[in-house]
A and B are shown apart, each in its own frame.
Chain A
Amino acid sequence: MNLRISDTLRKFTGMLPRSTARINQDNIQVSQNSESPIITLTGDDYSFRYAYARSSDTRKASDTGQDYLAIYPGNSFIAFVLCDGVSQSYYGELAARFLGDILLNWLKFYIPETMDVTAIKPLLGSVLDEAVYPGSAMVDRHQLPADIPELLRSVLYDKKRMGSETTFVCCRADLPNPAYPMGRAVFAWLGDSRLRIWDGEIERSSELPGVFETMQRWSTRRGQIGSTVHVHVRPLLGPHGIRRIVSYSDGLSALDDNERLLTNWDIQRLINQTEELPTSDDISFIEILFEPWKSRSEGHLAERKDIRSAKANKDS
């Protein structure tokens, strides 16, 4: 896919994607150590936008966010993984990134070519179970800071024994092709990060099987907790098709009551407002539209200009 970041976008947002997200040859791995104001990338077959923000406490402490967002915007498919590290576990950001990278890799290279969920789910379950051994080793290798009080050190060792945990939502959406004439969207999740789907203007999220619960998550010590992974497969086209996918961590739960397509300005403002609350949590957000945005490009560029102006005013 030929991703275009227009010169106008560079000028008015003042932020190049490379300054906030590392775009290497394939993946976009959004940094956990800085904020990524909403970025839109438009293509011929689909467009997507994403944002990332740490909680206000984390930002003030210059600490690492516990959410992790990674995207593969391919020519024939797009895949993403959105993880929310469990703060009560050991360095939740470790599990978030570790599992996120494993899932994205699996979605890109190893997911079976089938629409049959009963064929996909066990394989993904095995991936989650087999990730426990290297995940535990990763946690075991992790060193605590040297200069922390003894009680904190002792508590962190307790947490380390319990492992690092994360929730996740992941997705691979294949564009229509000979293997999938109607396209294919595969979703998998454990936990309470949101996954929402629309067919045009009608939200179809209630058709997603399974639940989104806080107590369900993945652990470096115990693997799948609270449930086995939830998996859903459906076409992109046709009566059960979808045109829009939205996923976000529970830090952006303020978006739960909204059903319509929001502007970049609306979303960024919501993120900014949420970040000011005492209960602010890390936020990661991604939205995919399976239709060209060409007709809306001017409006969105105007919105991005507004965001840049507002940001400049705030910084001054």
Chain B
Amino acid sequence: MIYETMATQRTPALIIYLLDVSGSMSRAMGKKMRIEVVTDSLTSALRQMVFRSTKGGRLSPRYRVAMLAYSDHVYDLLDGVKSIEHVAKLGIPNLSTQRSTETAKAFIQAEKILMEELPNLQSCPAPLICHMTDGEYTGADPAPIVERIKQIAVPDGPVLVENIFISGNITPEPIADPANWPGIMPETPLENEYARKLRDLSSPIPDSYRAVMLEFGYRLGANARMLFPGTSPELVSLGFQMSAATPVR
């Protein structure tokens, strides 16, 4: 069965974060700026990875992480792929907003990382790209690159692509209870055209990930997509929790 390979010290999971740091990320979300909400959520996801990688007092490197911030350019925040052990020592880098939203450039860089890592991933869980954005791309259309990335596969399954879309109204009704929200299905009506595009680019949530999310307290339904409307800090957090949901030993 696919997406069942557990992340272990010898077969760590690769998670690539693509973080939109365009100018609009300095807008408010509640009492904080969007970029601050993202930093908080990313920190929580990192804590979750550390939590799930700890046996006794020992941090077992079950995850490897790359973090690319993008605007006009792509910035490799960790200078390559690093183990969770390393990231835990460094902490989350500071994120500051820039200007435009060159999403395609970010996914091209992610694709490059995947191709370099692929020979070493054959026994590992399928890699996951967690893309966070708050607006439509500028420049080239990222869709062809994302579709290409989704064709890259390891024995555990094709690369998973997740999108967290920070925006205003995406669903017809506000999501009042993230814990019991079933997720965005292929047929869920979406108010925003870019949200619909992102849904098409988002992988279905594997059952193994849904089971882990249930442990985290989220009841996502079968057939839900890896698209999370970041309309509140809680939903942004849910999206980043998904990125840490690879099954572990």
Contacts and interface: CB of A to CB of B under 8 A. Distances in A.
A278 B88 contact: no
B11 A154 contact: no
B45 to A, nearest CB: 12
B132 interface: no
Given A279-B6, A279-B249, A145 B50 contact: no
Contact of B50 (A63, A64, A152): A152
A31 to B, nearest CB: 16
Interface in B132-186: none
Given A57-B9, A88-B51, A278-B8, A152 B56 contact: no
B89 interface: yes
A87 B60 CA distance: 11
Contacts of B6: 279
Contact of A57 (B8, B57, B91): B8
Interface residues of A, number: 26
B123 A278 contact: yes
B94 to A, nearest CB: 16
A151 interface: yes
B58 A149 contact: no
Interface stretch (A9-17, A155-163, A181-189, A220-228): A155-163
A315 to B, nearest CB: 23
A144 B59 CA distance: 13
A159 B51 CA distance: 8
Nearest to B57: A145
A151 B249 contact: no
A58 interface: yes
A159 B54 contact: yes
A84 interface: no
Contacts of B52: 88
B89 to A, nearest CB: 5
Contacts of B249: 87, 279, 281
B31 interface: no
Nearest to A88: B52
Interface string B7-39: 011110000000000000000000000000000
Nearest to B55: A87
Contacts of B56: 63-64, 66, 87, 91-93
A159 B11 CA distance: 24
Given A278-B11, A279-B8, A57 B55 contact: yes
Nearest to A93: B56
Contact of B46 (A56, A63, A151): A151
Interface string A76-92: 00000000000110011
A64 B249 CA distance: 17
A262 interface: no
A88 B50 CA distance: 10
A149 B88 contact: yes
Interface in A34-79: 56-58, 61, 63-64, 66
Interface of A: 56-58, 61, 63-64, 66, 87-88, 91-93, 144-145, 148-149, 151-152, 154-156, 158-159, 278-279, 281
27 contacts: A57-B8, A57-B9, A57-B55, A58-B55, A61-B58, A63-B58, A66-B55, A66-B56, A87-B55, A88-B51, A88-B52, A91-B56, A145-B57, A149-B88, A149-B89, A151-B46, A152-B59, A155-B47, A155-B50, A156-B57, A158-B51, A159-B54, A278-B8, A278-B9, A278-B123, A279-B11, A279-B249
Pairs of residues from A and B, 3 with the lowest C-beta to C-beta distance, nearest first: A278-B10, A151-B88, A278-B11
